[in-house]
Amino acid sequence: MNREHPCAAQDGDVRKTVPYLAAWFAAAAAAAVLAAAGLGMVGRQLTGSRPAPLSAEQVQRELASGATTTTATTAPTTTTVVPATTSSTTGSTDGGGSSPTPTTTTTTAAPPAPTTRSYDLVGGTATVQFSAGGATVLSASPKPGFEVDVSGSHSNGVRVEFESDDHESRLDAWWDGGPRDEVREED
């Protein structure tokens, strides 16, 4: 009677299973390493070449120079060039070195919120709304003895005139990167 120990049969099964488990763990570890490397590469592309934030002094200088102008038909855009990274462990198949290829990302900034201003002139009062699309007269009320005339002064502006026999009040309002106005009182 040749009896094998019951554990001996199980040992044979375990010996056959161990290489499969080892291969599975190796494949899982390799996949995790590759995923981490890929995420790191993408993260560096997204954050690697961000410009430094401006100081308060630099912001004031930019605003004073009028560098933040916009047009009446489009919102301002910001373009950032992010160079693609290449891995030092991979070789080039063309025999020469590979250079980074720039990737361009364009984001659209929200247009500035409309601004409303009221003007109390000798000849009357006017309320004007300013936005990137230009200036719009919301109301124009002449004082007693005055007549009002509202007209467009140029592509993104308006003119409000209050006239009487002996006085003229004139308001020119327009948008040029921000609200702009000019008031004239003439006898």
Cα–Cα–Cα angle for 91, 83, 71, nearest 5°?
Answer: 160
Cα–Cα–Cα angle for 127, 130, 136, nearest 5°?
Answer: 60
Q: What mean pLDDT comes out for the span 119-128?
A: 96
Q: Could you say which DSSP state residue 99 is in?
A: -
Q: Give the pTM.
A: 0.43
Tens-place pLDDT, residues 57-92: 777 777 776 544 443 333 444 444 444 444 444 444
